[in-house]
Chain A
Amino acid sequence: RYKPPPSECNPALDDPTPDYMNLLGMIFSMCGLMLKLKWCAWVAVYCSFISFANSRSSEDTKQMMSSFMLSISAVVMSYLQNPQPMTPPW
């Protein structure tokens, strides 16, 4: 009998978390870069990590790496432009 399975279109419907997190990460890193907000850049790093943890094996590693690199560069750029430590909002 036959083999295999399942390559359905369901994966995209079942769990959109990695895609959302990827998008969020990119948005936050762009905000962090443009508006020079350190906390945005840090949140972007977190988003890209979460996206990586939830990703499917069929997903492109290039995509993950690019979002990760973008968030790291956002953090580095924010600190180069303004080496002061982050101030909490309270």
Chain B
Amino acid sequence: MKAFLAFCVVLLVFGSVSEAKFDDFEDEEDIVEYDDNDFAEFEDVTEDSVTENPQRVITTEDDEDETTVELEGQDENQEGDFEDTDTQEGDTESEPYDDEEFEGYEDKPDTTSSKNKDPITIVDVPAHLQNSWESYYLEILMVTGLLAYIMNYIIGKNKNSRLAQAWFNTHRELLESNFTLVGDDGTNKEATSTGKLNQENEHIYNLWCSGRVCCEGMLIQLRFLKRQDLLNVLARMMRPVSDQVQIKVTMNDEDMDTYVFAVGTRKALVRLQKEMQDLSEFCSDKPKSGAKYGLPDSLAILSEMGEVTEGMMDTKMVHFLTHYADKIESVHFSDQFSGPKIMQEEGQPLKLPDTKRTLLFTFNVPGSGNTYPKDMEALLPLMNMVIYSIDKAKKFRLNREGKQKADKNRARVEENFLKLTHVQRQEAAQSRREEKKRAEKERIMNEEDPEKQRRLEEAALRREQKKLEKKKMKMKQIKVKAM
């Protein structure tokens, strides 16, 4: 037991000695040299100690490592060991080793004092190393938002498709009784009825019907709200909007007379007047109230001539309009229909846009957004109105005065158009002439042969003189005519 204790003391002493030396030198080579010197100390010791040398060497090395680590670090064990050995050995044996042995002790009071000055700050582990899901709450929020969007997309899409199907089921019979061809998507070579709606979008469904006596065809477009887009759904909560059914009947040329006429809500008519080419040109007055003809106040009339209004507003039409006024957005008959005004670039001469004789109907589905499939039945009478209007348009003919007025109007519009484009065309022609001149001049300049240059210049001069003479002649003729 005592031998063991002595051995421990010896180890500690040598450890502290070597540690002192380590403090001074950091190079590995120097450490090795000092290792040799340490071993040199052992050489004088007895055989037992010599045999133990390797062990001691190893152990002292370990101890040296331990002591250096322990004294540099914060571990207090070695100091505890120092204490233990001291108490066990007594003061006499530890005295010669005070310097080395108590190095740890010197440090100890320092560390304790430093501890009082600098409290240990516990640094937070960075978030991504925390391994907890809570720190990722924003990401979870984002993913939840995406899932909500996808859910809304699926629900909205299904609702729209159910509404479309309900509409088609209610109207199918009526359509099939009036048209031979119901539903066509244009892919087949032959005209065969598909009997199905054509889905253009998640919220727009088309149906083309054809094969009736006086009209070329009828295109029905179910424009539902964008229930599949969450942003739109949220926007609609602020501002309620309705689903719409737009019907466009293209008439044959011989089956409709020449007039432009529109009925609808005031707001819609004002908007149409601004947007539509034909309404803005032919119906210059503001929308008039329909009360004169027995229509409710909500509806207004835009017409080319009073006669047209008189003719259109027969009892049955008035009946339709009064009963279903809340569902009617606008009704527009026109022989000069060419769609909305196209914004043209300046300086471009344009032709008159192609016109087609059309009847346009825009209906609002009741419910203003919260529609159910059974609401579609309410639209059936409106389809009856459409059919009636087609027949009416075929029958209605302007009298002679009306026809003359109408023709005058059309001629006037055409003239205005030509005037506008005339100016533009003139400008275009002038710019072309200037370009030609410039090109000629450039050619003349680029000609290296001086003779050729002279010839070209002379030719250009002659041409200009001829033009001037022609102009003079024209002026003379005009003057003579004026006289």
B254 to chain A, nearest CB (A): 15
> Is B135 among interface residues, defined by CB-CB distance under 8 A?
yes
B431 at the interface (CB under 8 A from A): no
Q: Does A66 lie at the interface of the complex (its beta carbon under 8 Å from any beta carbon of B)?
A: no
A20 shortest CB reach to chain B, Å:
12
Q: Is the CB of B191 within 8 A of A2?
A: yes
Q: Does A1 touch B at the CB level, under 8 Å?
A: yes
Q: Once the chains bind, are A1 and B138 in contact (CB under 8 Å)? A: no
CB-based nearest A residue for B184: A3
Shortest distance from the beta carbon of B396 to any chain A beta carbon, whole Å: 23
Question: A87 — which chain B residues lie within 8 A by C-beta?
Answer: 138
Q: Which residues of B contact A85 (CB under 8 A)?
A: 127-128, 135-139
> A56 touching B200 by the CB < 8 A rule?
yes
Which residues on the B side are within 8 Å of A50 (C-beta)?
149, 229, 231
| Residues on the A chain within 8 Å of B230, using CB | 53
Question: Which of A2, A42, A55, A56 has a CB less than 8 Å from the CB of B217?
Answer: A2
Contact B126–A84 (Cβ < 8 Å): yes
Residues of B in contact, count (CB < 8 Å): 37
Contact for A57 among B139, B145, B200, B217, CB less than 8 A: B200
Is A4 a contact of B229 with CB atoms below 8 Å?
Answer: no
Interface residues of A in 14-35 (CB under 8 A from B): none
- Complex contact A2–B210 (CB within 8 A): yes
Q: Is B97's beta carbon under 8 Å from chain A?
A: no
Q: How far is the CA of A36 from the CA of B138 in the complex (A)?
A: 17
Q: Which of B127-165 contact A (CB under 8 A)?
A: 127-128, 135-139, 142, 145-146, 149-150, 153
For A79, give the chain B residue with the smallest CB separation: B139
Q: Is the CB of B219 within 8 A of A56?
A: no
Is A54 in contact with chain B by the CB < 8 A criterion? yes
User: Which stretch from B15-23, B52-60, B201-209, B351-359 is at the chain A interface?
Assistant: B201-209
The complex places the Cα of A59 from the Cα of B289 at a distance, in Å, of: 44
Q: Are A57 and B128 in contact (CB under 8 A)?
A: no
A57–B201 CB distance below 8 A: yes
Please tell me the size bucket of the interface on A. 20 to 34
Bound form: Cα–Cα A45–B231 in Å:
15
Contact of B138 among A46, A53, A86 (CB under 8 A): A86
A49 touches B149 (CB 8 A): yes
- Bits for A46-75, please: 1 = Cβ < 8 Å to B, else 0: 100110011111100000000000000000
Instruction: Report B185-224 CB contacts with A as 1/0, cut-off 8 Å.
Output: 1101001000000011110001010110000110100000
- Cβ of B332 under 8 Å from chain A: no
* Residues in B whose Cβ lies below 8 Å from that of A42: 142
In the bound complex, CA of A7 to CA of B229 (Å): 24
Q: Which residues of the other chain, A, contact B208 by a CB distance below 8 angstroms?
A: 3-6
Q: Taking the complex as formed, is B330 at the interface, i.e. its CB lies under 8 A from any CB of chain A?
A: no
Q: Across the interface, do A53 and B202 meet the contact criterion of CB distance under 8 Å?
A: yes
Q: Are A57 and B199 in contact (CB under 8 A)?
A: yes
A56 cross-chain contacts in B, Cβ below 8 A: 200-201
A86 touches B139 (CB 8 A): yes
Given A46-B145, A53-B228, verify A84-B186 contact (CB < 8 Å): no
B138 touches A88 (CB 8 A): yes
Of chain B, the residue at the smallest CB distance from A41 is B142
Q: What's the least CB distance linking A73 to chain B, in Å?
A: 16
Instruction: Give the complex CA separation of A2 and B181 in angstroms.
Output: 9
CA distance A88 to B228 in the complex (A): 29
Quick check: is B327 within 8 A (CB to CB) of the other chain?
A: no
- Neighbouring B residues of A3 by C-beta, 8 Å: 181, 184, 186, 188, 191, 208, 210
**Residues of B contacting A53 in the complex (Cβ-Cβ under 8 angstroms):** 149, 153, 202, 226, 228-230
How far is B94's CA from A86's CA once the two chains are assembled, in angstroms?
A: 61
Asked if A4 and B186 sit within 8 Å, CB to CB, the answer is: yes
Q: Which residues of B contact A83 (CB under 8 A)?
A: 128
Closest to A52 in B: B153
- What B residues does A6 contact at CB under 8 A? 206, 208, 219
A84–B136 Cα distance when bound, in Å, is 8
Q: Are B146 and A49 in contact (CB under 8 A)?
A: yes
Indicate if the CB atoms of A1 and B191 lie closer than 8 Å. yes
B231 nearest CB across to chain A (Å): 6
Q: How far is the CB of B439 from chain A (nearest CB, A)?
A: 35
Report the Cα distance A88→B142, complex, angstroms.
Answer: 12
CB contact between A84 and one of B128, B146, B180, B228 (< 8 Å): that residue = B128
B211 partner residues in chain A, CB cutoff 8 A: 1
Q: A3-B184, A46-B145 are in contact. List 12 more A-B contacts (CB 8 A).
A: A1-B181, A1-B217, A2-B210, A2-B217, A3-B191, A3-B208, A5-B217, A45-B142, A45-B146, A49-B149, A85-B135, A88-B138
| A and B contact pairs by CB, cutoff 8 A, 7 listed | A2-B191, A4-B208, A5-B219, A50-B149, A50-B229, A83-B128, A85-B127
Contact residues of B with A, CB < 8 Å?
126-128, 135-139, 142, 145-146, 149-150, 153, 180-181, 184-186, 188, 191, 199-202, 206, 208, 210-211, 216-217, 219, 226, 228-231
- Counting from the closest, the 3 A-B pairs by CB-CB distance are A4-B186, A1-B210, A86-B138
